[in-house]
């Protein structure tokens, strides 16, 4: 094996991206609640202050809106701040700065100024995170012109996407997932930026196109393995970037499979899946008969008790079952046994 | 007093007053198809403070931003073209009166959402400290902004990090039609900053010389690394919150309230200190500049349709 490629966790890959960018460029800085504490935001910002000083990686007051405003001001002055939130839910407190200011500064100034910043936060799940520590807002962010949105699933993509986000001239919302932090993938040591708006084909297949978002790529991957037992070969795509979205790669796949299921890691209503399905339908209508479907969170707040929480999320079995129903509508419904994903079952906080 | 200083300040005050009056005059013809928040009565704050700033110093302001734009050295032709929605405007017609900015004179952000530019000004000041620059940021906002969470978050952070920023609260007593008294427990607004350990001052009469002189001291202190300062200035808006008219008929404020302010109107006060021939010469010069700017705006083109989808991403 190439020495330059090691197994790295998702969290380590994000930290390595930030670390290497901070080494390369003095204008990159990290600001957020607890970024310099002993936990270092699940490891993604761990000890950066020890290497780069308190001026470049620092704790901030509990003032999400104000602190994003500070990051925007710093970006206007030529710095490249990464504004870190432990959880995505707290980003709701800075929507004014994000949407009214960061997203439209370049446009309203007629191109006079830019706001190069990264707004990073994690979607939570499991072990009683409840309604306020589990929310996913990618569709909100995708709705707003001027923002870029990325939600990587695998460590190597997390690294390349973070580097690309830091170097981009626009506000980029970087969405992590708590269940992914410990997952390992072979990741290059060298510094690299991934192509913004480029999807990854995770599994090649001909029978159906399966698009997963964030952690749902992992559950969809497991669903693909179950489906293979039934002789069904799904093509699994991880868009990585949601805005801009690599719709061309999805359309290319559907040309081959004629079927599309999108599994969002978010509420289904007005969600990412609706947008992807609509774009695909618009492309094919009048040309070809295709079938589309979607899955997402139940249309409820996320319950805290584990029994209900388990029903709230799509899982490998429910995804496989849905695919089977789409591909073989005339056969009896197939419901593979649901086994809770190990990262979900093993997660024990403490937060 | 130094006559050259009086002449300079008078020119700026008279320019802003006259531009605003001309905007009010043409507004009913609907050539400016957008809300305008005029600065008439409040010119002295922008003029007094910007007079002691360097060109490379940075200002952040609000939707009532014409006075600041002009006082900071913004191009009047660009401002008027912007108000007319033309492509030669400082924001290519995409910002308009409420969102004037021009980085060439370091006027960075003006916002229609009250108080939202304050934390950005603080962030800019943080970057100046980071790069050990001796530039300063001046952040202008109204009394209404002091009710917003972003204001409290900003003064705390600026004080905590000892950032090179002057906060300027233009207290005209009204947030649209609601008085400070009716919405603030602490009506002496500078004391809110004082409670956050920022050296704070208040000027209660809108006097341009006092404003300039105090601002000069404060800017010097900030530039030498002493951290943020806060200056509240009482002032008065002669016209309605938004639009070109007076609004005494609405009865949310008594018309007698304006009398002391009009008696010390800064344009009048300074004008009276200048020999007549010099005064006429300045005024003619300003009037010429303004009519050229309006002519420039009228003759400038509207943006092409292709501009709609430009500048979404940088």
Interface membership of B290 toward A (CB under 8 Å): no
Instruction: Provide the 3-class DSSP secondary structure of residue A139.
Output: helix
* Residue corresponding to tokens 């978002």: A213
ipTM of predicted complex: 0.96
User: How far away is chain A from the Cα of B153, in angstroms, using its nearest Cα?
Assistant: 5
Cβ distance A114 to B314 less than 8 Å, yes or no, reads yes
Q: Which residue of A has its CA nearest to B96?
A: A108
**What letters, b where the CB count within 10 A reaches 16 and e where it falls short, cover A269-296?**
eebbbbbbbeebeebbeeeeebebbbbb
Interface test with B, best of A22, A28, A61, A109 (most B CBs within 10 A): A109
Closest by alpha carbon to A165, among A36, A14, A45, A51? A14
**What letters, b where the CB count within 10 A reaches 16 and e where it falls short, cover B233-249?**
bbbbbbbbbbebeebee
SS3 of B234-272: ECCCCCCCCCCCCCHHHCCCCHHHHHHHHHCCHHHHHHC
User: How far away is chain A from the Cα of B122, in angstroms, using its nearest Cα?
Assistant: 6
Q: Which residues of chain B are within 8 Å of residue A68 when distances are taken between CB atoms?
A: 119
- E-strand ranges in chain B read 58-62, 107-111, 137-142, 165-171, 174-175, 178-179, 199-203, 229-234
Closest by alpha carbon to B161, among A324, A160, A55? A55
Q: Which residue of A has its CA nearest to B123?
A: A70
Q: Which residue of B has its CA nearest to A77?
A: B124
The list of chain A residues with pLDDT below 70 reads: 1-3, 350-351
Is the separation of the CB atoms in A182 and A282 below 8 Å?
no
> What are the extents of the domains in chain B?
3-303
In the prediction, which pLDDT does A2 show?
Answer: 65
> What are the extents of the domains in chain A?
7-188, 200-346
- CATH number for the segment(s) B3-303: 3.40.50.970
Q: Is the pLDDT of residue B128 over 80?
A: yes
Closest by alpha carbon to A81, among B133, B99, B108, B119? B119
For B63-93, the pLDDT digits (tens) are 999 999 999 999 999 999 999 999 999 999 9
- For chain A, the distance separating the N- and C-terminal CA atoms, rounded to the nearest angstrom, is 37
Sheet holding A234-238, edge to edge: A200-203, A234-238, A208-212, A259-267, A291-297
CATH fold of A200-346:
Rossmann fold (3.40.50)
In the prediction, which pLDDT does A349 show?
Answer: 74
Q: Which residue of A has its CA nearest to B314?
A: A169
* Rounded-to-integer distance, Cα B185 and Cα B162, Å: 27
In the prediction, which pLDDT does B69 show?
Answer: 98
Interface membership of B230 toward A (CB under 8 Å): no
Which run of H or of E encompasses A211? strand A208-212
* Rounded-to-integer distance, Cα B169 and Cα A199, Å: 49
User: How far away is chain A from the Cα of B267, in angstroms, using its nearest Cα?
Assistant: 31
Interface test with B, best of A80, A81, A98, A110 (most B CBs within 10 A): A110
Q: What pairing do the DSSP bridges indicate for beta strands A80-87 and A117-123?
A: parallel
Q: Could you tell me the CA-to-CA distances from A299 to A47, A236, A314 in Å, in that order? A: 39, 25, 12
Q: Could you tell me the CA-to-CA distances from B284 to B23, B79, B293 in Å, in that order? A: 18, 20, 14
DSSP state string for A165-198 = HHHSSSEEEEEEEGGGTT-EEEEESS---PPTT-
Interface test with B, best of A22, A27, A57, A66 (most B CBs within 10 A): A66
For B172-220, the pLDDT digits (tens) are 999 999 999 999 999 999 999 999 999 999 999 999 999 999 999 999 9
Q: What is the mean pLDDT of residues B147-165?
A: 98
Q: How many other CB atoms are found less than 10 A from the CB of residue B255? A: 11
A108 vs B95, B102, B103: nearest CB: B95
Q: How many helices (H) and strands (E) does chain B have?
A: 12, 8
Structure token pair of residue A262: 């999108």
Cβ distance A101 to B314 less than 8 Å, yes or no, reads no
In the prediction, which pLDDT does A127 show?
Answer: 86
Structure token pair of residue B295: 């002519």
In the prediction, which pLDDT does A348 show?
Answer: 83
The residues, ordered by sequence, that sit 6+ positions from A72 with a Cβ below 8 Å of its Cβ are: A97, A101, A102, A105, A115, A117, A171, B119, B120, B123
Instruction: Provide the 3-class DSSP secondary structure of residue A74.
Output: helix
Same fold, A7-188 and A200-346: yes
In the prediction, which pLDDT does A347 show?
Answer: 87
Is the separation of the CB atoms in B246 and B217 below 8 Å?
no
Based on its alpha-carbon atoms, the radius of gyration of chain B, rounded to whole angstroms, reads 19
Cβ distance B119 to A67 less than 8 Å, yes or no, reads yes
Q: What is the mean pLDDT of residues B284-303?
A: 98
Interface membership of B125 toward A (CB under 8 Å): yes
Cβ distance B126 to A74 less than 8 Å, yes or no, reads yes
* Rounded-to-integer distance, Cα A99 and Cα A305, Å: 34
Q: Which top CATH class is A7-188?
A: alpha beta
Instruction: Provide the 3-class DSSP secondary structure of residue B199.
Output: strand
Structure token pair of residue A136: 């996913």
DSSP state string for B42-82 = -HHHHHHHHTTS-TTSEEEEESS-HHHHHHTT--HHHHHHH
B122 vs A70, A110, A114: nearest CB: A70
The chain-wide mean pLDDT, for chain B, equals: 97
β partners of residue A87: A122
DSSP state string for A8-55 = EEHHHHHHHHHHHHHHH-TTEEEEETTTTSTTTTTTTTTTHHHHH-TT
DSSP state string for A222-278 = HHHHHHHHTT--EEEEE--EEETT-HHHHHHHHHHHSEEEEEEEEESTT-HHHHHHH
The catalytic site residues of A sit at: 64, 133
A101 vs B94, B116, B311: nearest CB: B116
* Rounded-to-integer distance, Cα A243 and Cα A228, Å: 31
In the prediction, which pLDDT does A128 show?
Answer: 87
């Amino acid at each position: 094996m190439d020495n330059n490629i090691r197994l790295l966790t998702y969290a380590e890959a994000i930290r390595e991206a930030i670390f290497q960018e901070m080494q390369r460029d003095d204008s990159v800085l990290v600001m957020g609640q607890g970024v310099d504490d002993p936990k270092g935001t699940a490891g993604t910002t761990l000890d950066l202050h020890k290497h780069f000083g308190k001026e470049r990686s620092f704790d901030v007051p509990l003032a999400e809106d104000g602190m994003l405003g500070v990051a925007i001001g710093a970006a206007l002055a030529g710095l490249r701040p990464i504004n870190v939130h432990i959880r995505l839910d707290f980003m709701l407190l800075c929507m004014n700065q994000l949407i009214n200011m960061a997203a439209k500064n370049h446009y309203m100034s007629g191109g006079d100024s830019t706001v190069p910043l990264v707004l990073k936060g994690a979607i939570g799940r499991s072990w009683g995170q409840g309604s306020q520590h589990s929310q996913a807002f990618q569709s909100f962010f995708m709705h707003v012109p001027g923002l870029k949105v990325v939600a990587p699933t695998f460590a190597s993509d997390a690294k390349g996407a973070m580097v690309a986000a830091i170097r981009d001239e626009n506000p980029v919302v970087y969405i992590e997932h708590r269940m992914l932090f410990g997952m390992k993938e072979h990741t290059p040591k060298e510094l690299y930026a991934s192509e913004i708006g480029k999807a990854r084909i995770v599994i090649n297949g001909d029978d159906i196109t399966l698009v997963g978002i964030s952690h749902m790529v992992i559950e969809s991957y497991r669903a693909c393995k179950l489906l293979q037992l039934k002789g069904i070969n799904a093509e699994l795509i991880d868009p990585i970037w949601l805005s801009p979205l690599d719709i061309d790669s999805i359309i290319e796949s559907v040309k081959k499979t004629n079927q599309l299921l999108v599994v969002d890691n978010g509420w289904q209503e007005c969600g990412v899946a609706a947008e992807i399905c609509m774009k695909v339908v618009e492309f094919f209508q009048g040309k070809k008969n295709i079938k589309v479907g979607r899955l997402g969170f139940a249309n409820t707040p996320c319950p805290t008790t584990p029994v209900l929480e388990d029903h709230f999320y799509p899982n490998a079995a429910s995804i496989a079952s849905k695919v089977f129903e789409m591909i073989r509508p005339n056969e009896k419904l197939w419901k593979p046994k649901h086994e809770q994903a190990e990262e979900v079952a093993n997660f024990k906080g403490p937060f | 007093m130094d006559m050259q200083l009086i002449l300079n300040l008078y020119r700026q005050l008279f320019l802003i007053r006259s531009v605003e009056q001309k905007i009010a005059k043409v507004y009913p013809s609907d050539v400016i198809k957008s809300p305008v928040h005029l600065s008439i009565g409040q010119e002295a704050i922008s003029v007094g403070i910007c007079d002691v700033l360097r060109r490379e110093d940075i200002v952040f302001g609000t939707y009532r931003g014409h006075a600041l734009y002009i006082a900071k050295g913004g191009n009047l032709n660009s401002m008027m073209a912007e108000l007319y929605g033309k492509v030669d405007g400082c924001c290519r017609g995409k910002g308009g009166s409420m969102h004037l900015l021009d980085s060439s004179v370091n006027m960075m952000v003006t916002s229609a959402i009250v108080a939202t530019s304050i934390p950005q000004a603080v962030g800019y000041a943080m970057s100046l400290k980071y790069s050990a620059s001796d530039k300063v940021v001046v952040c202008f906002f109204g009394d209404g902004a002091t009710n917003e969470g972003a204001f409290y978050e900003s003064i705390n952070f600026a004080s905590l990090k000892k950032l090179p920023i002057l906060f300027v609260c233009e207290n005209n007593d009204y947030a649209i039609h609601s008085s400070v008294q009716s919405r603030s427990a602490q009506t002496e607004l500078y004391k809110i900053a004082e409670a956050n350990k920022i050296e704070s001052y208040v000027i209660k009469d809108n006097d341009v010389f006092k404003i300039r002189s105090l601002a000069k001291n404060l800017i010097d202190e900030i530039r030498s690394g002493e951290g943020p300062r806060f200056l509240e200035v009482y002032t008065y808006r002669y016209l309605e919150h938004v639009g070109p008219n007076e609004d005494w008929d609405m009865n949310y404020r008594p018309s007698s309230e304006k009398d002391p302010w009009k008696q010390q109107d800064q344009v009048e006060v300074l004008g009276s200190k200048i020999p007549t021939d010099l005064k006429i010469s300045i005024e003619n010069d300003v009037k010429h500049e303004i009519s050229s700017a309006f002519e420039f705006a009228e003759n400038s083109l509207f943006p092409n349709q292709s501009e709609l989808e430009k500048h979404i991403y940088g």
